[in-house]
Amino acid sequence: MEKHYAVIGDPIEHSLSPWMHNAGYSASGVDAEYHRFCVKPSQLAEAVEGLCALGYSGWNVTIPHKEHIIPLLDILTPEARRAGAVNTVKIQEGKRIGHNTDGAGFVRSVEGDLQGFKGKNAVLLGAGGASKGIALALAERGMKVHILNRTLEKAEELVQAVERAGGTATSGEFASGDWLTEVDLLVQTTSVGLHDEPYPFSLEGISSGTLVVDIIVTPRETAFLKDAKKQGCRTQDGLDMLLYQGVLAWEFWLGGQAPVEEMRQALKKQLFQRMFYEG
Ligand SMILES: NC(=O)c1ccc[n+]([C@@H]2O[C@H](COP(=O)([O-])OP(=O)(O)OC[C@H]3O[C@@H](n4cnc5c(N)ncnc54)[C@H](OP(=O)(O)O)[C@@H]3O)[C@@H](O)[C@H]2O)c1
C-alpha cells in the first residue's frame, strides 16, 4: 500500500469510517488503506508520534481527542482554529496540519435541500461539540442561529463563539415554544435518541416548510424525526453529515473529488449489516 490513513478515538469499534474510506479508495483506484485505532486519552501523544513514525499520510480524530490533539500539531486551518477542534490531520512535508470538516460536512449535507443560507433561520438543539461546528458553519454562510440547550450557560458560550467569528446567534431554553413557527432549518444535535428514548418535547406547530435534521446516525429514524415527519416536515438523518465530513477529509488528503455515491453505499451497507447482525 502506498498510503495509510486511520481514525483514532475511544471508543472506536462503532466507527464506520474505514468502510466509507476504503470503498472510496477502491472506487477511485487510490492505492491506500484506512484503519481504526482505539487510543486512550493518556496515550494520545504517543499515538500521534507512532502514526507519524509509521508513515501515515493522515488520520481522522474523534471523541475524546478533537480538542486535546491541537497542541500536538504544527499548523491549524482556519476551519479548525474557528471550531477549536480538529477532526482531520494531514501530514505534509513533515508538518502535522489540523483541519475540521464537521461543520462544512453538515453544510454540504443540507445545501441541496435548503437552497441558500443567507438571512434564513436555523435552530440548533444542543450546544456540544457537534453543535459548535454546525453553528459556526451556518453562521459563516449568513444564517441566523438560535441555540437551545439543557444547560443554558453552554448555549450562551456558543453564542459568544459565533459572535466572535462575525456571525449572528441567540440562545434560549430547551423546550417547545413560539420559535417553532419561523424556522427554515431545525437540527437536533443532542445525544437524546441514541438509545431510542423519546424526545422531551413536541414539535406540534412547526411549519411544514422546515427541514428537520437529527444528526444521530443510529437509529436511522429517531423519535424526534418521526415526530417531524408527522408534522409534515422534510427530514434528514445523520448519515449524510457523516458522509460529507468524510468526503471533505478525503478531498483534503488526496485532492480532486471523492466518489460520494460509492462512499454513501458503503456506509449504508455497513449500517444495514450491523442492524441485521446486532438486532
Ligand atoms: N452524524 C454525524 O456525523 C455526527 C457527528 C458528530 C456527532 N454526532 C452525534 O451528535 C450527538 C452529540 O455529539 P457531541 O459530540 O456534540 O456530544 P457532546 O459534546 O457531549 O454534547 C452533548 C449535547 O447533548 C445534550 N444532552 C445530553 N443528554 C441530554 C438530555 N438527557 N437532555 C437534553 N440534552 C442532553 C448536552 O446538553 P448539556 O450541555 O446540557 O449537557 C449537549 O448539548 C451524538 O449523538 C453524536 O453521535 C453525529
209 Cβ contact list (under 8 Å, min separation 6):
184, 233
Of 63, 123, 136, 191, the residue with max ligand 1 atoms within 8 A of its CB, to mutate for a pocket test, comes to 191
> Using an 8 Å Cβ cutoff, are 232 and 208 in contact?
yes
Of 189, 216, 244, the residue with max ligand 1 atoms within 8 A of its CB, to mutate for a pocket test, comes to 189
The predicted pLDDT at position 278 comes to 59
Q: What is the pLDDT of residues 54-95, one digit of tens each?
A: 999 999 999 999 999 999 999 999 999 999 999 999 999 999
pLDDT band at 34 (very low <50, low <70, confident <90, very high): very high
What is the Cα–Cα distance from 33 to 21, expressed in whole angstroms?
A: 8
Examine the pLDDT at 177 and tell me if it is beyond 80: no
In this structure, the residue with its CA closest to atom 35 of ligand 1 is 190
Helix axes 129-140, 102-114, angle to 10 degrees: 60
In this structure, the residue with its CA closest to atom 26 of ligand 1 is 190
Q: Ligand 1, closest atom to CA 242?
A: 3
Examine the pLDDT at 265 and tell me if it is beyond 80: yes
How many A from CA of 184 to the centre of ligand 1?
21
The predicted pLDDT at position 100 comes to 96
Domain with CATH 3.40.50.720 in the chain: 103-237
How many A from CA of 194 to the centre of ligand 1?
9
- 103-237 fold: Rossmann fold (3.40.50)
- Kindly state the percentage of the chain with pLDDT values over 90: 86
Q: What is the mean pLDDT of residues 239-249?
A: 97
The pTM of this model reads: 0.93
How many A from CA of 207 to the centre of ligand 1?
25
Q: Ligand 1, closest atom to CA 106?
A: 3
How many A from CA of 174 to the centre of ligand 1?
13
- Coil, helix or strand for 7? strand
In this structure, the residue with its CA closest to atom 6 of ligand 1 is 130
DSSP state at residue 72 = G
The predicted pLDDT at position 175 comes to 80
Mean of the per-residue pLDDT values for the chain? Answer: 94
Domain with CATH 3.40.50.10860 in the chain: 3-100+240-278
Choose, from 3, 40, 66, 118, the residue flagged as catalytic: 66
What is the Cα–Cα distance from 104 to 44, expressed in whole angstroms?
A: 26
How many A from CA of 49 to the centre of ligand 1?
30
The predicted pLDDT at position 139 comes to 97
Examine the pLDDT at 1 and tell me if it is beyond 90: no
Q: What is the mean pLDDT of residues 112-117?
A: 94
**Residues lining ligand 1, Cβ inside 6 A:** 63, 126-131, 149-151, 154, 189-192, 194, 215-217, 238, 241-242, 245
The answer to whether 90 is a known catalytic residue is no
Q: What is the mean pLDDT of residues 5-32?
A: 97
271 vs 274, more confident: 271
φ, ψ of residue 111 in degrees (nearest 5): -65, -30
The predicted pLDDT at position 277 comes to 64
Return contacts of 170-178, CB within 8 angstroms, 24+ apart: 170/144, 170/145, 170/146, 171/127, 171/146, 171/147, 172/146, 172/147, 172/148, 173/148, 174/125, 174/148, 174/149, 174/150, 174/200, 174/201, 175/148, 175/201, 176/201, 176/202, 176/203, 176/204, 176/205
Q: Which CATH class is domain 3-100+240-278?
A: alpha beta
Q: What is the mean pLDDT of residues 261-271?
A: 96
Q: Which residues of 134-166 are buried (b: 16+ CB within 10 A; e: fewer)?
A: bbbbbbbbebbbbbbbeeeebbbebbebbeebe
Examine the pLDDT at 279 and tell me if it is beyond 70: no
DSSP state at residue 257 = -
Q: What is the pLDDT of residues 183-220, one digit of tens each?
A: 999 999 999 988 888 888 889 989 999 999 999 998 88
- Comparing 32-41, 173-182, 262-271, the range with the smallest average pLDDT is 173-182
Q: How many residues does the chain have?
A: 279
Q: Ligand 1, closest atom to CA 151?
A: 40
Q: Which of 66, 63, 68, 84 is nearest to 9 (CA)?
A: 63
Examine the pLDDT at 107 and tell me if it is beyond 90: yes
In this structure, the residue with its CA closest to atom 10 of ligand 1 is 189
What is the Cα–Cα distance from 113 to 71, expressed in whole angstroms?
A: 38
